[in-house]
Amino acid sequence: MNVVITGASQGIGRALAEAYARQGADLFLCARNMDREMHWQQSLMEQFNISVMSHNADLSVESSAKEFAQKVLDAFPEVDILINNAGSFEPGTVHGEPEGQLEKMMRVNLYSAYHITRALLPRMMVRKSGHIFNICSVAALQAYPAGGSYSISKWALLGFSRNLREEMKPHGVKVTAVHPGATMTRSWASAGVDPERIMQVDDIVKLVLAAASLSPQACVEEILVRPQLGDL
């Protein structure tokens, strides 16, 4: 099994890479700083006897996203799972956030997934198999204070996911949008929030792996998971 994960150097992306390594999958990972994680990648290869390739890229840049996709195509004859996890959060309001913040959020949170998916889809369609996960957010479903352009970009990613799901039905390619609520990643570690109040990264990993394990006849279209006590 060949698995491609963006935003793989930390948080949900890193945890998913480790989970698929345990399953014996070969990995192609991408983030802006993957070169800082060479020891971790080497440990995955040695521990699980798998291939781990990686690429440094700022996927908000269209040419960089397309370059990464081409490297994946050159390395893997087929891609079984693509996880579009690269993303960025900056709080703001439509009326008060800095000029250019919408364009920035759209490039990181939507366009990166759009360009990589378009490049990898043709082989999936020929094979009539493959599964694409787009890591969206509860912000894609419900407006909230200080969501601003981040929330707008995640709504757009959900729209991309739903349209792609419809297009891929006759081609045997699955598409799943994942909407995590507050999850204990690096961005929350310094927020002073009680770890018991928010979800663990492994909660998201388990749901993604479960959705990917169903029969070809079944597709989980969306995964919505929130902390037991609700959103913060």
Q: What is the pTM of this model?
A: 0.95
For residue 50, the model assigns a pLDDT of 98
**CATH code of the region 2-225:** 3.40.50.720
Higher pLDDT: 9 or 186? It is 9
> Tokens in use for 155?
């709504």
Any residues with CB less than 8 A from the CB of 156 and at least 6 apart, and which?
106, 109, 110
Confidence of residue 189 (pLDDT cuts 50, 70, 90): low
Higher pLDDT: 47 or 196? It is 47
pLDDT tens track for 71-82: 999 999 999 999
Q: Which of 20, 111, 114, 150 is catalytic?
A: 150
Give the mean pLDDT of 203-214.
98
Q: Is 150 an active-site residue?
A: yes
Which has the minimum average pLDDT: 41-45, 98-102, 164-168, 189-193?
189-193
For residue 190, the model assigns a pLDDT of 67
> Tokens in use for 174?
């699955």
> Tokens in use for 49?
């006897």
Cβ-contact 158, 203 below 8 angstroms: no
